[in-house]
Amino acid sequence: MRHEIVAPTDCTIVEIRPEPGDSVPAGVTIAIVEMMKIERLVEAPADGVITEVRVSAGEVVKAGQVLATLEEQSIAATAAADAPDDGAAGERADLAEYHARRALLDDEARPEAIAKVHARGRRTARENLADLVDPGSFQEYGSFMYAAQKGRRDVDDLIRNTPGDGIVGGLGTVNAEHFGEEASLVGVMSYDYTVLAGTQGFRGHEKKDRLLPVVDQLQVPLVLFAEGGGGRPGDTDTPFLAGLQLHSFAWMGHLSGSVPSVAIVSGRCFAGNAALAGVCDVIIATPDANLGMAGPAMIEGGGLGHYRPEDIGPVDVQTTNGVIDLLADDETHAVALTKHYLGFFQGSRADWEAHDQAAMRDIVPENRKRIYEVRDAITTLADIDSTLELRPSFGKAIVTTLARIEGRPVGIIANDPGHLGGAIDADSADKGARFMQLCDAHGLPVISLCDTPGFMVGPEAEQTAQVRHFGRMFVVGASLTVPFVTVILRKAVGLGAMAMSAGSMHSTLLSVAWPTGEVSGMGIEGAVKHGARRELDAIDDSDARETRYDELVARMYDASKALNAAAHGEIDDVIDPADTRRRVAQVLRRPSRALRSGRPMVDPW
């Protein structure tokens, strides 16, 4: 049977392979043709012998034009071995080049640099990322970038020694075993201190400017490992003077209130790296961290003296002033805390267990003046092993804790009677207001455990600008769209109690009190001294005056009992402390309809 082998389209003959008389097996390439810079292979339709070749290389032909003829016939088994070779054995050249370049990104390609990191007891950027994201889930962006320094260094040197331009970034899943892959997708970026001290280069900014909009479009959380020295002065291949038009910092600010964000700081973190960390919802640091808006070079350049990096923003300073939210033992612990934190924004869990709620009855002592540990109430109320306290060393009058109740993530704010008797000072007001913003931005209901004598008073307190700081609690509370529940453990006095209840006991989804609850417009002792001053001053005998004062105080305490507040409708109910979890869980099972999705931002402070 005779076959005509024709051109598949209008094209140019690049190569015509067999000659008349050649035996060819089916599928072997007869000709290579090109159209619009794309080559196509024309193959033998059957085993046979080429009887005629009608074209030559370089000739332009029309679609359907006969290129050669083939007489179909059986051919010897060895004929296939004599056919033109369509490709050499082994790995393709392009894949080999790719694999060679990819290998240079691995830590093993720079053993000396990696050894220095390990000698300090630290982990590399890629080791931290591998610990954070689920195995096999990381998809890197901009991996083949290198420092923009071709004007002063050889390209091969840059490829080998400045991989990724000092920052590794991409997407991966975290906690997928608990929440599924879709709910667990996270954007991750890690500065690499082994590359030019983790400084921020031009290409690295380009990488962030590419990845951060992807994070925004996907609406996934962001984790930033922020170790590094800030801006880099040594780049030569940049199309600008100062780079102030770059979008990295604007994008980080844009993400605030839109997606959860975590910065992990270990080692030195200054200038631009610190600015990125400072925008994140939460900063987790290790004990060896130094965090500051200017490093030693900038301080000395400003004529302010010479300092060691260890002198600038150590963790003992940055935890007590509220900059650091969580202090980890080391990088491994920091990653574990990050996974725990992210889980609160990835969904509910079905595998929860509850504490024995009868223990709630004994947390607040019968002696109304006796101190107790409010964290015991938080822990007992929440699912077992679910709590995570933020900023424990700052604003100590208010405890802010992420937790779960029946698997559902919530935020808990609580007054701590162990600090200022639970009176809310300026730092505590800031801490509580920002925590409510955080919960509101990411859809977590807020539970308030109220035991406060009100706001802190006195001339020294007013020097802290507390009028404005307290105002934040009312403004933020009034803007909340997530469910809010107040549980009065003991004292609920005046403006402080109202601030702990989103501005009003009736602004909440539910306001209840334990039998130990005391509800009053101001401190009872102060109210008696102020309201009964004339009566008391008229009593000459000091013992009689003191007796009358005690009587009036006791009468007001009796009137302020939570049962009386409930009888007047100021709160919704008085409950058995052991019933707290059930009552709270009941109203949270059906989320209230939010008036908006997200907040404009979460205040960095």
Is position 241 within any domain? yes
| CA–CA dist 204, 211 (Å, integer) | 10
Number of domains in the chain: 4
Rounded CA gap, 284 and 266, in Å? 9
CA separation, residue 398 to residues 387, 432, 449, 472 (Å):
16, 7, 10, 14
Q: Which residue has the tokens 């030195």?
A: 268
Same domain for 383 and 306, yes or no, is: no
With respect to residue 512, please indicate whether it lies within any of the assigned structural domains: yes
Q: Indicate the SS3 state at residue 48.
A: strand
Please check whether residues 304 and 366 belong to one and the same domain. no
Structural domain range at position 549: 522-560
Q: Do residue 27 and residue 153 come from a single domain?
A: no
**pLDDT at residue 597, as a whole number:** 58
303-355 confidence digits (pLDDT tens): 999 999 999 999 999 999 999 999 999 999 999 999 999 999 999 999 999 99
Enumerate residues 6+ apart whose C-beta is below 8 A from 342. Answer: 174, 175, 186, 221, 223, 260, 262
Does 594 reside within a domain?
A: no
| pLDDT of 83 over the 70 cut | no
Confidence of residue 80 (pLDDT cuts 50, 70, 90): very low
Cα separation, 301 vs 298, in Å, equals: 5
- In this prediction, residues 527-552 reach a mean pLDDT of 82
HEC sequence for 378-405: HHHHCECCCCEEECCCCCCCEEEEEEEE
The answer to the question of residue 93 being in a domain is no
If asked whether residues 382 and 509 sit together in one domain, one would say yes
Tokens linked to 550: 């005690």
Residue 189 falls inside a structural domain: yes
Q: Do 510 and 526 fall into the same domain?
A: no
Of 51, 82, 113, which closes a domain? 82
Per-residue CA distances from 262 to 182, 233, 255, 355, 434 (Å): 19, 27, 12, 30, 15
Asked if pLDDT for residue 492 goes beyond 90, the answer is yes
Confidence at 598, pLDDT banded by 50, 70, 90: low
Residue 96 domain-assigned?
Answer: no
Q: Looking up tokens 């955080």, which residue turns up?
A: 438
Tokens of 13: 């003959």
Is 593 a member of any domain?
Answer: no
pLDDT at 81: 44
Query: Which range scores top for mean pLDDT: 101-105, 294-298, 525-529?
Result: 101-105
Same domain (yes/no): 531, 497: no
For position 380, which CATH number holds?
3.90.226.10
Residues 541 and 579 in one domain: no
Same domain, 403 and 450: yes
Q: Which residue has the higher pLDDT, 149 or 230?
A: 149
Listed in sequence order, the residues at least 6 apart from 490 whose beta carbon sits closer than 8 Å to its beta carbon are 364, 368, 417, 451, 514, 516, 517, 518
Give residue 545's pLDDT: 84
Query: Is the confidence at residue 301, as pLDDT, over 90?
Result: no
Q: Are residues 392 and 324 in the same domain?
A: no
Task: Report the alpha-carbon distance of residue 529 to residue 524 in Å, rounded.
Answer: 9
Interval 167-204: pLDDT, tens: 999 999 999 999 999 999 999 999 999 999 899 988 99
Does any domain span residue 388? yes
In this structure, are 175 and 282 located in the same domain?
Answer: yes
Residues 536 and 583 in one domain: no
Q: Final residue of a domain: which of 343, 366, 399? A: 343
Domain shared by 494 and 528, yes or no: no
